[in-house]
Structure 1
Amino acid sequence: MIGRPESPHSGWRSLSPDITPLLDIIFIVLVFLMLTANIPLQSLEVDLPKTDSEALSRVQDNKTVTINLLAGSPAWALQGEKYEHWEQFKPVLQSQLTTLKDAELVLASDKEVTVDNMLKLLAFLQEHQIQATQILMEDGQ
């Protein structure tokens, strides 16, 4: 009959497998499954206009100011009036601060405009607590 050796030098622990790593892995997987199983879904409700005419009428009723970012030269425009450099355009914006704060602001940018021009404008608007209500984007096809 096969039996365990009873000698003190070769104890029965040396023949049985060590299951500590297996238990560690099982507990890690168990914790992972418990943490990921009940994640609540977060949602953001958005009220969209029911028709295009409703959205257009809201924009037309309000006073709007359009700032254009153009590729190349001239690089800036306010209500269709173009400016070559930021140093020329910034004083014009500063003189129109009350109008920009009261009106609905629309930012329209060409897709070829560099990021630094957009960041200059957004930093100016943030510095003066002016929020852009619409940013026009071209459909990327």
Structure 2
Amino acid sequence: MIGRPEPAHAGWRALTPDITPLLDIIFIVLVFLLLTANIPLQTLDVDLPKTDSEALSRVQDNKTVTINLLAGSPAWALQGEQYPDWEQFRPVLLGQIETLKDAELVLASDKEVTVDNMLKLLAFLQEHQIQATQILMEEGQ
């Protein structure tokens, strides 16, 4: 019955406290600590220019190389020539390394392009020490 004390002859059970609530709290704290632990994230450092928007939008036509990231297939373009995937586009970039280092590089991307494609290209540029880069973005409305 509820509220009725146990008889004294119940033995050791009457003398030990119920630790179930304590265990519940310990498990909740353990799960909280596991979920909030610092997980190392893979990052790619990108140096952004500290100039005004007019200087960013100006492009010199004589020394400019444009790389387009397109949504869908073809996914890549260099100076208007399109390539369907990274495996076909990467050798073309490797052949143009010296041109890319000497020219002003402009990256133009559709807003539907996946981050994976952008990171592939940025990692390639960083790997080959190509730093002169502008990223064209559409102004918000």
TM norm structure 2: 0.59
Instruction: Give the equivalent residue in structure 2 for 1:75.
Output: 75
Instruction: Give the equivalent residue in structure 1 for 2:59.
Output: 59
Instruction: Give the equivalent residue in structure 1 for 2:131.
Output: 131
Instruction: Give the equivalent residue in structure 1 for 2:92.
Output: 92
User: Deviation at 1:101?
Assistant: 0.2
SS at match of 1:125: helix
Instruction: Give the equivalent residue in structure 2 for 1:111.
Output: 111
Instruction: Give the equivalent residue in structure 2 for 1:14.
Output: none
Question: How many pairs were matched up?
Answer: 92
Q: 1:60 to 1:121 in 2, by over 3 A?
A: same
- Structure 1 residue runs of 4+, over 2 Å off? 46-49, 58-62
User: Deviation at 1:60?
Assistant: 2.5
- Alpha-carbon distance in 1 for matches of 2:88, 2:61: 31
1:107 touches 1:132 (CA, 8 Å); kept in 2? no
- Alpha-carbon distance in 2 for matches of 1:103, 1:113: 24
**Deviations 1:91-128, CA, capped at 9 Å, x for gaps:** 00000000000000000000000000000000000000
5+ residue gaps, structure 2, are 1-49
The one-letter code matched in structure 2 to 1:117 is N
**Deviations 1:18-39, CA, capped at 9 Å, x for gaps:** xxxxxxxxxxxxxxxxxxxxxx
The one-letter code matched in structure 2 to 1:64 is T
SS at match of 2:131: coil
- Alpha-carbon distance in 2 for matches of 1:125, 1:55: 19
The one-letter code matched in structure 2 to 1:104 is E
Q: Percentage identity across aligned positions?
A: 82
CA RMSD between the two structures: 2.2
Structure number, greater radius of gyration: 1
Instruction: Give the equivalent residue in structure 1 for 2:101.
Output: 101
- Alpha-carbon distance in 2 for matches of 1:55, 1:102: 18
- Alpha-carbon distance in 2 for matches of 1:120, 1:90: 10
5+ residue gaps, structure 1, are 1-45
SS at match of 1:111: coil
